[in-house]
Amino acid sequence: MKSRIRSFFDRIFYTPTPLPPGTFQTIMEINGVLYRLHLRIEQEGKGLLIVNASTILHLNRTAAEIAFYLINKTPIEQIISSMMRRYQVTADIAAQDVENFKIRIESLIQTPDLDPETFLDMERIERHTDELVTPIRLDCALTYQSSEGASSLYAPLDRVKRSLDTEEWKEILKKSWNAGIPHIIFTGGEPTIRPDLEELIQYAESLGQVTGVITDGLRLTDSDYLHKLLNAGLDHIMIILQPDEEQSWEAIRDVLNEDIYLSVHLTINEKNRNRIPSILRKIKDMGVKALSLSVTSTELVNELSYASRTSAEMGLHLVYDLPVPYSVLNPVGVEMEQHEATKQGAGRSWLYIEPDGDVLLGQGSEVCIGNFLTDPWETISGNRKLEPSK
Query: What's the chain's length in residues?
Result: 390
- pLDDT for 338 equals 46
- pLDDT for 150 equals 55
Angle between the N-to-C axes of helices 2-10 and 91-110, in degrees from 0 to 180, rounded to the nearest 10 = 120
**Exposed e or buried b for every residue in 282-304, given b needs 16+ CB within 10 A?**
ebbeeebbbbbbbbbeeebeebb
Per-residue pLDDT of the chain (390 residues; tens, 9 = 90+): 444 444 444 443 445 778 888 888 888 887 777 778 889 898 778 888 888 777 888 888 888 899 999 889 999 999 999 999 888 889 999 999 899 888 887 777 677 666 777 654 444 445 545 555 688 899 999 998 887 755 444 556 667 878 999 999 999 999 999 998 989 999 988 999 999 999 999 999 999 898 999 999 999 999 999 999 999 999 999 999 999 999 999 999 999 999 899 999 998 989 999 999 999 999 999 999 999 888 888 888 899 889 999 999 999 988 877 776 654 333 344 444 444 445 567 777 889 999 999 999 988 788 899 999 999 999 999 998 755 444
- pLDDT for 61 equals 85
Q: Compute CA distances 201 → 115, 207, 295, whole Å.
A: 18, 10, 30
- pLDDT for 19 equals 83
Angle between the N-to-C axes of helices 246-256 and 276-286, in degrees from 0 to 180, rounded to the nearest 10 = 30
**Exposed e or buried b for every residue in 233-254, given b needs 16+ CB within 10 A?**
bbbbbbbbbbbeeeebbebbeb
- pLDDT for 108 equals 74
Separation of alpha carbons 145 and 269, rounded Å = 22
Separation of alpha carbons 227 and 231, rounded Å = 6
Asked if omega into 32 is within 30° of 0 (cis), the reply is: no
Task: Tell me the CATH class for 137-382.
Answer: alpha beta
Separation of alpha carbons 111 and 98, rounded Å = 20
Domains in the chain: boundaries? 2-118, 137-382
- Say which residues have a Cβ less than 8 Å from residue 125's Cβ, sequence separation at least 6: 46, 58, 59, 60, 131
Q: Compute CA distances 354 → 141, 157, 364, whole Å.
A: 5, 10, 10
- pLDDT for 142 equals 96
Q: Residue 160 burial by CB count (10 A; 0-12/13-18/19+): exposed, middle or buried? A: middle
